[in-house]
Amino acid sequence: IVLMKPSFPYRASFFDLLIVPVHDKLSKHFSKTLRTLVTPNRMDPVLLETSAEALKRNWSLGSNGKKRLSIFIGGPTRSYRFEPTQFRKWLSALKSCAEASHFEILITTSRRTEPEISGMVKEELGKHPATKLLIIANESNWANVAYGMLALSEVAVVTEDSISMISDAVSAGKKVLVVQLGTGKLPEKHNRFHQALESRALISLANAADFPSKLSAVEDLSESRVAQRQSQLIQEALRKLL
């Protein structure tokens, strides 16, 4: 069994079951193939609940009635990089939205995030009153923090480079904004992934300029049941195999 598009030198015909996201192209159809909309992940209600409880204990994040946004910042991939001017413009828009709508921000970078971008995040949001959690992954990290953030938030904002984090946010049933802040070209599979989700109203694509309006309209996105449906399909495929 393989949970991705088989890479060289492995042939697809070698496997008894291929579970491959739709954004990965296959050169031909194989009868023992299950295509998924998002990358298969660990998301389930128990993981979300236990991660949320841990985050509440460690960071005093009890419920106070305010809306929360979870922000997930990735980093460079191949020829793609965040454009610093656009990134700072987006951070300014994010702060303005938080001040106008009185929501709280939970934010984490990834190990791929470049030092310049991490420094910008700390400078703009580190002492902002709306920021209730800020984790710079290359300086400190916490187990399952992303799952806890998702559980404690209504909306997830994810940079366009992270297929896995977008998949997690959609699977958690959150309203998801994917922010486009880069220069250079993402791999084509990223564009296929974004388009597949946007066409089903599971995500909305935003940039630094239109972020406030896209955030205001985020409630128009569909309620996601992707995780449950994919889990059922994978279980059925495994039963047939076994």
In whole angstroms, give the CA distance from residue 200 to residue 192: 13
Confidence (pTM):
0.93
Would you list the DSSP string of 168-190? HHHHTT-EEEEE--EES---HHH
Residue pair 23/189 in contact by the 8 Å Cβ criterion: yes
Label residue 228 by pLDDT band (50, 70, 90): confident
Q: pLDDT at position 78, please? A: 85
The structure tokens listed for 222 are 């569909």
Stretch 163-188: mean pLDDT: 94
Mind listing the pLDDT tens digit for each residue in 41-58? 989 999 999 999 999 999
For 213, how many CA atoms within 13 A lie in the half-sphere containing its CB? Answer: 5
More confident residue, 12 or 150: 150
* Number of helices (H), then strands (E), in the chain: 8, 10
Whether 114 has a pLDDT exceeding 90, the answer reads: yes
In 3D, which of 68, 20, 42, 21 has the Cα closest to residue 171? 42
The structure tokens listed for 164 are 């896995």
Residue pair 176/194 in contact by the 8 Å Cβ criterion: no
More confident residue, 126 or 224: 126
In whole angstroms, give the CA distance from residue 40 to residue 21: 8
